[in-house]
Amino acid sequence: MDLVLQLLFTGIGIGAVYALVALGFVLIFRATNVVNFAQGEFSMVAAYLMVVFSVDLGWPYWLSFLIALAGMALFGVIFNLGVYYPLRNRTYLPVIIATIGASILLSNSVLAIYGPQPQVLQGWFDTPGIQLGPVYLDSQYLLIIGVTILLVLFNFWFFEKTLLGKKLQATSQDKEMASLLGISVSTMIMITFIYSAVLGGLAGILVAPVLFVSIQMGSTIALKAFAATIIGGFGDVAGAIVGGLALGVIETFGAAYISVPYKDGFAFLVLIAFLVFRPQGIFGERVAEKA
Amino acid sequence: MPLLEIRNLVVRYGEIEALRGVTIAVEQGQVVTLLGANGAGKSTTLRAISGLAKPASGDIMFDGHSIAGLGPEAIVRLGISHVPEGRRVFPGLTVKENIMLGASNRKVSASQISREADAMFDLFPDIRAFSNALGWTLSGGQLQMVAVARGLMAKPRLLLLDEPSLGLAPVIVQAVFRIISQIRKDTTVLLVEQNARMGLSVADHGFVLETGRIVLGGKPDELWGNEAIAAAYLGGHAKTHA
């Protein structure tokens, strides 16, 4: 039982990272109808920004964190203008190819600068963790879970309670109609890219001390996050969060009870099972969000 | 000076010339109805006015200024609100949210917009009870009410209405047209209709479009009196009803 609780904690912690990246996937997908294959690189770039400011330049952790997030917001602007905007009136295919191209460009640029050796980024807290009864709560996982809860609450408030959130939803449901009402569609998509880049960046910075900072970290996280969106129900915000958490828990238990080397395999086994037996995912595709 | 003046408007979709030199004028305070068969270019005319379709040549003057080539976001800010074909109510937003977003062309606070949206239900009492229902759950008639209410939230000087009667039961069509005759007190309306009888019943002026050209224009009485038009658009029994 103690082990189960311990694994549950770790699983939710890593699952929260998948959930954040999956949320970024879903938001961009809903705004542009395109899957952003560079979503994982958003996390990777942010983690390397942390390495630049916190490790290389030796700036305080909190300052590096804020600058890295601001950098990710700027990165979202550049990504939108460079990758999506020029192709916005084309079909989805050129845009998808462009995001794949951007993903390759980003990881190879970082490779050229930092080389293939993984970098180490320390966690936010000096204390490694606390013992709560039978469960050891790692401080970095606690931070990840806490930030994710806050972001999920923020996300709900933003999209359900603010007029800007409603405009973003309207834009994702019918761009032409949104423009007829005077909603600036290009501004709404810009906001989506910025938000999504910051979300992905946060996930990357939070998970970096748990994993190593490497050029592959983006694709590993993105694959899991992508699987999470399918398990949760593609295009569904709640589905992305639940799917991400579920995936983290499943792979942690799989690694502990079945096989450690096959840890990454469990996520995809679950993905395949969903694609075969319930392709619409846990939450299905709601009619409300179809258009 | 007319509020809206279209001169020799040509619009192409690729190889197809949808409008081949359309010229119409809409005076301030009028309801003008654009009649014509399917594919005659009625919707394209409205799409060109609201900026969804780019004119290949010709000009569109609103309040004395050319708006041809402007984008839809800029045009609705000038005071032209387009309620398009098919209603296009956002399916995942509630009725109230849909109506509130109609004010996106104006700079007003969210609380002010919310109050205005509530007041809009006085004009559309039938949808008040559905204020918190999602768009996709509504019937065709309710969707049309929401779409018109949303269009009015822009406080337009010119309202473009595309086929408000399409697919609605006769009693609902009458309700929609009652609303149009109420709107006309404050707003100039350019109405596109296939239902010529209803369309002309509220109009000060009518135009008939045929394969991208205006073939006839005049007061409703004159259009009713025209044998060829009556036969082509108003049905064989038109004259007896008129």
Q: What is the pLDDT along chain B (242 residues), one digit of tens a residue?
A: 899 999 999 999 988 899 999 999 999 999 999 998 888 899 999 999 999 999 999 999 999 999 998 999 999 999 999 999 999 999 999 999 999 999 999 999 999 999 999 999 999 998 999 999 999 999 999 999 999 999 999 999 999 999 998 888 888 888 888 888 888 888 999 999 888 888 888 999 999 998 899 988 889 888 888 777 777 666 544 444 43
Model pTM?
A: 0.87
pLDDT at A122: 85
Structural domain spans, chain A: 2-215
Residue A290: its chain B contacts at CB < 8 A?
A: 91, 136
**If you measure CA to CA, which chain B residue comes closest to A288?**
B92
Residue A105: how many CB atoms within 10 A of its CB?
A: 14
> Which residue of A163, A179, A289 is in closest CB contact with B92?
A289
Q: Are strands B31-36 and B188-193 parallel, antiparallel or unpaired?
A: parallel
Residue B155: its chain A contacts at CB < 8 A?
A: none
Three-class SS of B168-202: CCHHHHHHHHHHHHHHCCCCEEEEEECCHHHHHHC
pLDDT at B238: 41
- Placement of tokens 């946060």 in the chain: A202
Distance of alpha carbon B130 from alpha carbon B115, whole angstroms = 16
How close A46 gets to chain B, by Cα (Å)? 33
How close A189 gets to chain B, by Cα (Å)? 15
Distance of alpha carbon A225 from alpha carbon A171, whole angstroms = 24
pLDDT at B234: 60
Cβ neighbours of residue A226 closer than 8 Å, sequence gap 6 or more: A22, A25, A35, A39
Q: Which of B21, B18, B9 is nearest to B61 (CA)?
A: B9
Paired with A132 in beta bridges are: A135
pLDDT at B169: 85
Residue A162: its chain B contacts at CB < 8 A?
A: 110
Rounded (5°) CA angle A278-A282-A285: 85
pLDDT tens, chain A, 291 aa long? 788 999 999 999 999 999 999 998 888 888 888 889 999 999 999 999 999 999 999 999 999 999 999 999 999 999 999 999 999 888 889 999 999 999 999 999 999 999 888 888 888 887 788 888 888 888 899 999 999 999 999 999 999 999 999 999 999 999 999 999 999 999 999 999 999 999 999 999 999 998 889 998 988 899 999 999 999 888 888 899 999 999 999 999 999 898 888 888 888 898 999 999 888 888 876 544 443
Q: Which one of B43, B50, B52, B73 makes the best mutation probe of the A interface by having the most chain A beta carbons within 10 Å?
A: B73
- Placement of tokens 């879970």 in the chain: A145
Residue B132: its chain A contacts at CB < 8 A?
A: none
Interface of A with B in 161-180 (CB under 8 A): 162-163, 166-167, 169-170, 173-174, 176-180
> Which residue of B84, B91, B100 is in closest CB contact with A291?
B91
> Which residue of A170, A176, A288 is in closest CB contact with B101?
A170
> Does A170 sit within 8 Å of B93, measured CB to CB?
yes
Q: Which of A20, A6, A2 is nearest to A145 (CA)?
A: A20
How close A30 gets to chain B, by Cα (Å)? 12
Q: Which ipTM value was assigned to this complex?
A: 0.91
H/E run at residue B209? strand B205-210
B7 alpha-carbon distance from chain centroid: 19
Tell me the residue type at A173. Q
A251 alpha-carbon distance from chain centroid: 17
> Which residue of B52, B82, B101 is in closest CB contact with A166?
B101
| Domains, in order of start, for chain B | 4-241 (3.40.50.300)
Instruction: Report helix, strand or coil for B100.
Output: helix
Q: State residue B134 phi and psi, 5-degree precision.
A: -75, 150
Residue A170: its chain B contacts at CB < 8 A?
A: 90, 93, 101
Distance of alpha carbon A166 from alpha carbon A159, whole angstroms = 6
